[in-house]
Amino acid sequence: MEYTHVVHPFAPLFDENSKVLVLGSFPSVKSREQAFFYGHPQNRYWKVIAAVLHESVPVTVEEKRALMLKHGIAMYDVIHECDIVGSSDASIRNAVASDLSPILRGRKLPVFTNGNTARNLYQKYIFPVTGIETTGLPSTSPANAAWSVDRLIEAWSVVADALGE
């Protein structure tokens, strides 16, 4: 196991119309290569969120960005920098939390975390700063094979509810 120190390589996605915030733990190797969220083709995030929003599955980074902003979904990750082995959330150590203040700017957006690692890291590092509770959702990662796409869509529908969709 070889650890690499990695600083989050891309900015959060948000604008003044953001209504909810979805946080992952830290970008995978594929996401870091693409400089955008959920870049691994096996990750089910884009399938799930598109279904929840009753939209077509976006393919390009620009389509993904446009879909999130159209529906008021801000995105980022709990961890800004850490030592990590590949894409393994379980290997994260020496974590430095992301500064969410540019996204929140004095507003309390509903926060959803993608998977247990993101939720646990949020509780440890960010909740004490923001005081905003998170709704933990099942991971869309292919490693979470116990959850089918249909079950994920059902669980993730709370995001659409929070958006009023």
Strands 73-77 and 20-24: parallel
Per DSSP, the three-state class of 42 is coil
**What is the pTM for the complete model shown?**
0.95
- pLDDT, mean over the chain: 95
pLDDT under 70: residue ranges of the chain? none
Please tell me what DSSP assigns to residue 13.
Answer: B
Q: How many CB atoms lie within 10 A of CB 17?
A: 11
3-class SS letters over 70-88? HCCEEEEECEEEEEECCCC
What pLDDT does residue 88 have? 83
Q: What is the pLDDT of residues 13-48, one digit of tens each?
A: 999 999 999 999 999 999 999 999 999 889 999 999
Q: Which CATH class is domain 4-163?
A: alpha beta
